[in-house]
Structure 1
């Protein structure tokens, strides 16, 4: 076949086209599907969002019966209650469409049921109507669907305006959620939450000061606990102060600002304040810290606590902020103590420039040093005492982790303990064994002496008994008469020796003869002296005899 014939055949061949059509049979299912989707969407929109709230227990909650309320207005219903693998209760709550904006990330849920505590009584109305879930709308702009419910109802709503602060204390005491915060005896706020900070090892209280009273709180304001009785003793006697009945039951706190701290800036949300034990402690801590320093102790600091007072010659100017080995360098066995100070008093005492930042190193070079002092012998608590002594000024100032170290020493009971240890060391150095041996020998000798003394006493007792027997005999009784007779004879003998006695005349005659003999001997000696030959030839007779005295 030629090309011309082939071309002619193609020109006369009919063109066949396929026509596509949609069968009218499918119109009805498509409309039904669209209608069903619209109905589902409409139903979902009309029902509102579904949220999940996790609780510890589902006590009082029932699907289809328990309502979700906000400010006591029903805004939803519990649809389902489930139990997770962790034995937690998950409640599915359907919220009405018009209230979907209340579901924010910081919204809070809790179950309202009858509760009775020392601070308040709530939820008694649910004894009739049954328990329900309360919603506290948050302030966050983001919306959420999964929440963790509160086991205890909050004290105040997050939307309530006011000043929210944090109080920190070493112990919780009787202060709890719902406790009042008062000013001059008038309630101006409440404690919203009580939290135990494991990291800081302290108790934190979240409090709310109502908006109208927020201006009463300054940076220099001090808070203290008013729970319990307050007994003080002073020069004018004892003072006994009792709080209100509500404070006694639920606890409470109050605050105040001294005149010199009224110029401090107003407090802001999130500010942290120390909660003092009582008003006197708060008054002693009226200072604004502007300087940090470090103390390093080689001795035990048992009794020194965080928030302990730092005094300068009896005036509180700071407090202890931390006690941790983390503050020291690696390998340093000393105990580091961080303190904060109000430097104004130290500036004046050290004559430092008031216009510049306080230089701790410069103060140390001028003799600033610290000492631990006993605050109470009963409790053993300690505080830090600062003083200035130029003789104790070090040549080099130590710096640890870019913080200047104030030289410090142990005081109070530690000094007494050191002295007692020194005395005990001296006692141990004494030759106690030899001394005790000597005391033992002396005791043995004393025992022998006592035994001999007992024998002597026995002999004395025998002698006394013999003397008694002799005195009791008849011869001893007649001894008195014989002694009287002897005395009479002795008296006669003495009388014979008297001026009128015979013996007296004999003595006189003997004396006269002795005088005559003496005169004769005197004459003889005189004659021999004048004429020695008279001893051989005799005395010459002068013819004049010398008359002699007549003898009596």
Structure 2
């Protein structure tokens, strides 16, 4: 046997683990613990869907709530259909209660809006994602959130009430518009959408606490935002809203005059949006009786909602103008010049006047036998608006009328021509009579007279332009000057006047001397030839003889 075979080593089996394995085992345990600790402290993962990822950087863009970092964006990718941006973020462990099913995320960046300039701080730090916690207490369902470009108008956890409005009117009230109660802002318009199927605008309003108690069953909503100018018998009324409402519009609400507030409503109750405050007054009269009227006058200026009055007291409203149905059109009403108008008699308008309920429709039907008629009257001469007036007319009293007279299934009210129509008819009759006058003959005679007058004027013009007529003023002026000189020479103090005065004195003296001779000639005309007898002196006589 060789020496090699004699030196084979002996093997011994060891029953315990070697101490060398302690180090890798401890290292593996530490690694597992660190890995578990890392994932355990990461918090919830959230998925956000956006239209674009402008300014968002994975590992850098933070998620904040009230300016406190609560998470970070881990990755930014595109969706499988490449139509949206998928952003994966991680919320810190201690901030997990902020993430609920109704939480809201939006991007904060520099913007200019209704509230002014916001997000200026992001110019240096970059954009970030803001988180507002919701109030849904159900289990988190890991559904993706929508990442909005604009902040929410109201936080999900803000106390208040949300309601819905429907409107078939033209015009849109934008998101963020004010909601007012008697001019005071109590909320805002959260959403403004158009429903294609119903063809109506639908709005969601938020009324903050404590003003949510103002939303009751009897409140009515109407549009604000325009300058309202109303003309009435009391004068003109100009209503101008605030600048904020004037620029962006708004919605006001209140209860109609004379109506109680009613009971509170549940969230997301639906209301109708009216055109203006005036229209909400008519919405409370749900009890009415319809009458059909036929007018032979023009209804231009008569609109839906126009008042129906009895001697100045409103008792109803115009429902449809003109009112055409298939039955009415089948009778060809245009050929008989009668235009149908449907009105509503609303007894509720007299609730403050009448102590007991009255069948107003029955009274109107019966009183037509006594001359009650309907007529179109002018409500405003400037705008041309019309209303329907019910009144008694003496010329129609005791006229035959069927108390159950109906037309096309509606009770009727007989009509009379309006005052303006009567005036127009008289004016047309006057114009017709004027047209019948022999104006042609009168005009011909007038033309002949004018021609003769023209010839006379031409003759006078020729005479005036002749040399004799032109020299006449000069000769007349010379005569007047001579007469003036003559009159000046006869004035007192002039030589001619003094000479005439002296001659008149001499003539008077001569007449005194001739007086005896004239007396003698009067007694005896031949005394100049024969001597006149001497006269005896008169003898005095005794008294009584």
Task: Select the residue among 391, 396, 402 that pairs with 2:405.
Answer: 396
What's the counterpart of residue 129 of structure 2? 132
CA distance in 1, matches of 2:377, 2:194: 30
What's the counterpart of residue 186 of structure 2? 188
What's the counterpart of residue 449 of structure 2? 446
CA distance in 1, matches of 2:226, 2:58: 46
How much does 1:155 deviate? Answer: 1.9
The alignment partner of 2:406 has SS state of coil
Residues 287, 318 of structure 1: 8 Å contact kept = no
CA distance in 1, matches of 2:414, 2:120: 60
Gap change, CA 1:300 and 1:441, over 3 Å in 2: closer
What's the counterpart of residue 114 of structure 1? 110
Residues 69, 132 of structure 1: 8 Å contact kept = yes
Residues 169, 276 of structure 1: 8 Å contact kept = no
How much does 1:180 deviate? Answer: 3.7
CA distance in 1, matches of 2:413, 2:167: 30
What's the counterpart of residue 347 of structure 2? 343
What's the counterpart of residue 530 of structure 1? none
Residues 255, 261 of structure 2: 8 Å contact kept = no
TM-score (normalised: structure 2) = 0.52
The alignment partner of 2:445 has SS state of helix
Aligned pair 1:213/2:211, yes or no?
yes
What's the counterpart of residue 533 of structure 1? none
The alignment partner of 2:456 has SS state of helix
CA distance in 2, matches of 1:199, 1:369: 44
Gap change, CA 1:352 and 1:118, over 3 Å in 2: same
How much does 1:261 deviate? Answer: 1.6
Residues 285, 349 of structure 2: 8 Å contact kept = no
The alignment partner of 1:387 has SS state of strand
1:7-22 equivalences in 2 (<5 Å): none
Residues 46, 144 of structure 2: 8 Å contact kept = no
How much does 1:449 deviate? Answer: 1.0
How much does 1:460 deviate? Answer: 5.6
Residues 327, 336 of structure 1: 8 Å contact kept = no
Q: Deviations over 1:135-185 (max 9, x none)?
A: 786979897957877665442245544333437595759x65434434466
Q: Deviations over 1:206-250 (max 9, x none)?
A: 432234333334444455667688999999999999876755666
How much does 1:337 deviate? Answer: 7.2
The alignment partner of 1:445 has SS state of helix
Residues 52, 90 of structure 1: 8 Å contact kept = no
Aligned pair 1:260/2:258, yes or no?
yes
Residues 221, 257 of structure 1: 8 Å contact kept = yes
CA distance in 1, matches of 2:364, 2:142: 57
Two-structure CA RMSD over aligned residues (Å): 6.2
Gap change, CA 1:424 and 1:254, over 3 Å in 2: same
What's the counterpart of residue 289 of structure 1? 286
What's the counterpart of residue 271 of structure 2? 272
How much does 1:117 deviate? Answer: 2.6
What's the counterpart of residue 91 of structure 1? 85
Gap change, CA 1:209 and 1:331, over 3 Å in 2: same
How much does 1:387 deviate? Answer: 3.2
The alignment partner of 1:178 has SS state of coil
Task: Select the residue among 154, 158, 161 that pairs with 1:163.
Answer: 161
Q: Deviations over 1:433-452 (max 9, x none)?
A: x9564455335413421233
Residues 109, 149 of structure 1: 8 Å contact kept = yes
Residues 114, 124 of structure 1: 8 Å contact kept = yes
Residues 221, 274 of structure 2: 8 Å contact kept = yes
Q: Deviations over 1:362-415 (max 9, x none)?
A: 855655876665544444455x54636596887533456xxx466587998xx7
Give 5+ residue unaligned stretches, structure 2. 1-34, 334-338, 484-545
CA distance in 1, matches of 2:104, 2:306: 38
The alignment partner of 1:261 has SS state of coil
Give 5+ residue unaligned stretches, structure 1. 1-38, 481-552
Q: Deviations over 1:95-118 (max 9, x none)?
A: 6696898447xx876544333234
Gap change, CA 1:120 and 1:49, over 3 Å in 2: same
Q: How many residues align?
A: 416
How much does 1:130 deviate? Answer: 0.4
CA distance in 1, matches of 2:303, 2:137: 40
The alignment partner of 2:84 has SS state of strand
Gap change, CA 1:293 and 1:99, over 3 Å in 2: farther
CA distance in 1, matches of 2:385, 2:74: 56
Q: Deviations over 1:273-315 (max 9, x none)?
A: 555646xx47965844333747677777665566655656545
CA distance in 2, matches of 1:348, 1:103: 53
Gap change, CA 1:218 and 1:178, over 3 Å in 2: same
CA distance in 2, matches of 1:117, 1:437: 75
CA distance in 2, matches of 1:149, 1:305: 48
CA distance in 1, matches of 2:117, 2:66: 18
How much does 1:129 deviate? Answer: 3.8
Task: Select the residue among 390, 406, 419 that pairs with 1:387.
Answer: 390
Residues 160, 206 of structure 2: 8 Å contact kept = yes
CA distance in 2, matches of 1:345, 1:409: 23
Q: Deviations over 1:527-548 (max 9, x none)?
A: xxxxxxxxxxxxxxxxxxxxxx
